[in-house]
Chain A
Amino acid sequence: MSDKNKFVPELHDIGKLVDRQALNQAGIQITGHTFHDFDFSQIGVSQPFSPSWYAQYLEKDELRPPDKDLLNSQEAKEYIPDPQIRADVLITKMADGISAAISRLELYGKRIHRGQVSEGVHKLWNAKFYEEKKQGGQYWSPFTDTESFKGMFQYIDSCLSYQDFFRKYGEYLSLTPEDKTAPGNIVSLYTHLELVGKIYRTLKKHSLLQLQNAQNILLYNNQPIKSVQEASGHIDPKEDQGKWIFRIVNCNIGFPQSFSRLQDLNVFRKRADLIKAFSEDENTKDYVLFFTDDLICLFIPKDGEVRIQELLDSFLEARFIIDYKEMEAELNLLTSSMKKAYEKFHSLSTTRHLKLYEKRANFDFSPEIRPHLCDSCQMKHGKERVKDQIYEYLCDTCYDIREMGDPAREYAKWEEKGLRAGWMKITLDQEQLLRTLYRLYEEYVDTHSAMQSISNSDKTVLKDSFRPLAVQMDFVKDYKLLLKAFNDQIYEIKDKEGNPFFIEENFLYPIEGYYEFGIFKVYSGEDILKVLDLFYNLLKEYFPECLKDSPIKLSISLAQVKYPYQEHWRFLSMPKNVINIQSLGNSKLSIDISQYKLLREKIRREDTKLSHFLHRLADIEIETKSDMTVMLEIFNNRKRFPVLLELTQSELSVNQILDFYKLTREVAIP
């Protein structure tokens, strides 16, 4: 098929970018967001004719039911004469269903009342997002008058690729919700269409349109189907089974190397390069739904069609270890909230197909290795390597990583007496992200004014129908924006004289483009506070609605410059709370954002009397092991230190308060 005749599934929702109200006011009669029944004489253009146009018929009444034969029925043939385009429309409809953030209950005969209609996307973690964009002069719709509206139809015929569509309308797609009716307005149309496109191309790649007994069928894994429901199954797990089994796989890309030299940090660059190559490769890019610096989320066919071990071969060749959670299910049962969905599914009595596996993709491990074992990865035989009169045993993989270059070269020159280094890592906890998204969505359904008129039973159904995948993708995009903003703004912080507080020489990003990880010089608590404040401010800016259970976490490990890198990394890779700080041999602190805010407001760094008192309390706590005794002491001194009573009532322990004071006080850290 030439590009001119290409079917672009992303265009099926282009009508959602039309400002119907504005066009109605201009005298153009429009109903719904599809234009299969539109009277084109109103605007003096003819109906488009490209393959992509036919996706408009997805919403045609006769073709809407999920059990409708979209390949052979009279109606389908009448509206969409070309069988290949009918197959494309059918696959688009399947992809659309999987990509929806809230199950398309109405299609399956459930009558549910939804909330109010609003124009912009409602980000669950940043409710004011659209309002602020609008105040900044942006608007969700590019089609607000007759001329631009005409242009949309011309574009349906002239668009050659989804990349062009996203380039041309990306800004609007990011502001427009997938569904303007609450609570469906929580995903941007951009992300929804990205997902539809990827899933469409994967379904198409692994299926075949065939003519059998004068009937068109779509064949995947020897399973012929003609309708959405036949492939995907009913949306209700207790109803009809679907024939097509696919997988969503969350792959954590880990590595066995330990860091004993700065060059060992090159493993991050190697991983980033591989993830980038995999997500851009023509053969694999559509499998990748989203990725972060250490995770790839895939949508792939059954094991017999695509084997993980082969698919991720480039990572395994490079000796990365891939721990993955794999949900294998009928299309309509697939979701990214794997454990939650699995538990719910198994509480029902149903014979439908939904499996959840935890696996590891390993490279080849030899049953036995003769000494020496590689000092870094400890997974292969190590050859003797000598550098600067130091003997080490390294396998070829680890040696190659060392030879990739000198990251954080400046770090080796940090030799000031008493100087400490702060190793910093920002982490997105995917498990926590799912919990937070469920909490935010349920709160939105239960309490938002747009949902006021909805009955409790409908609210319950809507909450049960949440599919977080697209929302998760949107969140990850904002997370990447936060990381980039952190990277930019860290160098914009000014000291009292108005000079930059951090410069590229004292706040390093060892791996270019890897913004989760930085190293900075620490002279006093002020350096730490600057980093914490920037993190807090950005969290507040990008994710104001999930400060209390933020899945984005910051860890800082402080020690002398020569402190073993691996030990920094061990702490950084296991964040317990939203803010985590350790200072070697001094203190260890894990607090949430509200505790941070309170400590930041109440603890004055110059208050030495408070410090003495906190030390005394810590001693009492150790000696008596009695919270009551400590509280009594605080109560007895409430007039001298009223702030302590307030802090301890906010579930902060004396040790946490003391540690925060020690870590952030003005004087140089001992």
Chain B
Amino acid sequence: MNESNKTFLHFEVNTEAIAIGERIKGGTYRPCIETIPTSTLKGSFRDYFGLTDTLAIGFFREGTYEKDTFTYAPFDTFLGTAKLPISLEYLKPANGTKAVIADIYAVKMGTTEFLTKAAPTEISLGALKSKGFGRCELRYIGEVKPYLKIGYLKGRFIEEECAAFGIAKVIKPCYGYLFYPTSEVSGVYKRALFEGSIIEGPEILIKEEYKYDYKNIG
């Protein structure tokens, strides 16, 4: 088994409630995902540490969380009225655990090493921060030099970031789109690899090994 050409900085976050929303508009129910996309972490690290070029991805640790629903009525400041109540799905500590825990892996590069010095510290992630969701304690665990493995991707990131994450091959892409800010007030949606894609990449990104044949397509 070959080692990845990338080194990752491994962090852990602990939180009591967090909602990282699936991008579904128009409805009154907002489901949440069980991974932390690169775009979410990029935004948070920019807001808290002024880092603009970090590349990190996170996964909630199985067994530490369960889903629940929080209902609230957003207020339309323009009209001065309450909108239709929205039900937000969020993660809370599983029965018998004290906190939801996520593993975060940041690609080691010049600026990200700053994070190792900043931690432990508090950051916020996800939606409804004003209602207390997403307050996390960020702790640095250590450096990881993972092996390469072929399997099913367990997170989501913009396709352009493949090389930066050390992805050697994309065998079966499952595409979706992630928002990519281009300025303070605007952005575009970029094609991204979603959960279930089959890749050859660092084992920390792999949910389950793929054991069958493949032809090189990327």
List residues of chain A with CB under 8 Å of any chain B CB.
Answer: 258, 260, 339, 342, 355-360, 362, 365-371, 373, 375, 378-379, 392-393, 563-564, 566-567, 570, 585, 622, 625
Contacts and interface: CB of A to CB of B under 8 A. Distances in A.
Contacts of A339: 212
A371 B190 CA distance: 10
A310 B51 CA distance: 46
A370 B177 CA distance: 11
Contacts of A370: 188-189
B214 A365 contact: no
Given A365-B191, A368-B190, A368-B191, A358 B172 contact: yes
B189 A368 contact: yes
A227 B44 CA distance: 67
A356 B23 contact: no
B27 A564 contact: yes
Contacts of A365: 175, 191
B158 to A, nearest CB: 10
Contacts of B31: 566-567, 570
Contacts of B210: 358
A379 B190 CA distance: 10
A622 to B, nearest CB: 7
Contacts of B176: 378-379
B214 A357 contact: yes
B175 A362 contact: yes
B174 interface: yes
A375 B26 contact: yes
Given A356-B213, A357-B213, A362-B175, A369 B27 contact: no
Q: Which 3 A-B pairs have the closest CB atoms?
A: A564-B29, A356-B212, A369-B189
B188 A369 contact: yes
B125 interface: no
B1 interface: no
B24 interface: yes
Nearest to B175: A365
Nearest to A325: B212
A358 B172 CA distance: 7
Given A355-B213, A356-B212, A357-B215, A375 B25 contact: yes
Nearest to B96: A625
Contacts of B159: 367
B65 to A, nearest CB: 16
B206 interface: no
Contacts of A367: 159, 190-191
A359 B216 CA distance: 12
Nearest to B29: A564
Interface in B93-113: 95-96
Contacts of A362: 173, 175
B90 to A, nearest CB: 14
B198 interface: yes
Contact of B26 (A260, A360, A567): A260
Contacts of B198: 358
Contact of A371 (B26, B87, B189, B191): B189
A362 B193 CA distance: 13
B218 interface: no
Given A365-B175, A378-B23, A357 B96 contact: no
Interface in B156-175: 159, 172-175
Contact of A564 (B28, B172, B213, B215): B28
Interface centre among A342, A368, A375, A566 (most CB of B within 10 A): A368
A360 B152 CA distance: 13
25 contacts: A260-B24, A260-B26, A342-B212, A355-B213, A356-B212, A357-B212, A357-B215, A359-B172, A360-B173, A360-B174, A362-B175, A368-B191, A370-B189, A371-B186, A371-B187, A373-B177, A375-B24, A375-B25, A378-B23, A564-B27, A566-B24, A566-B27, A585-B69, A625-B95, A625-B96
Interface centre among B87, B212, B214 (most CB of A within 10 A): B212
Contacts of A342: 212
Interface in B175-218: 175-177, 186-191, 198, 210, 212-215
Nearest to A363: B175
A375 to B, nearest CB: 5
Contacts of B213: 355-357
Contacts of B187: 371
Contacts of A258: 24, 27
A366 B189 CA distance: 10
B24 A379 contact: no
Nearest to A392: B26
Contacts of B174: 360
Interface centre among B23, B177, B188 (most CB of A within 10 A): B177
A585 B69 CA distance: 9
Interface string B19-60: 000011111110100000000000000000000000000000
A570 B34 CA distance: 15
Interface in B73-92: 87
A483 to B, nearest CB: 28
Nearest to A370: B188
A585 B67 CA distance: 11
Nearest to A373: B189
Contacts of B28: 564
B27 A368 contact: no
B212 A358 contact: yes
Contacts of A563: 29
Given A258-B27, A260-B27, A368-B189, 13 more contacts: A258-B24, A342-B212, A355-B212, A357-B212, A359-B172, A360-B172, A360-B173, A366-B191, A371-B189, A373-B189, A375-B25, A378-B176, A393-B25
Contact of A622 (B23, B95, B189, B191): B95
Nearest to A354: B213
A371 B173 CA distance: 23
A477 to B, nearest CB: 29
B51 to A, nearest CB: 24
B177 A369 contact: yes
Contacts of A373: 23, 177, 189
Contacts of B190: 367-368
Given A356-B213, A378-B176, A564-B29, A368 B95 contact: no
Contacts of A570: 31
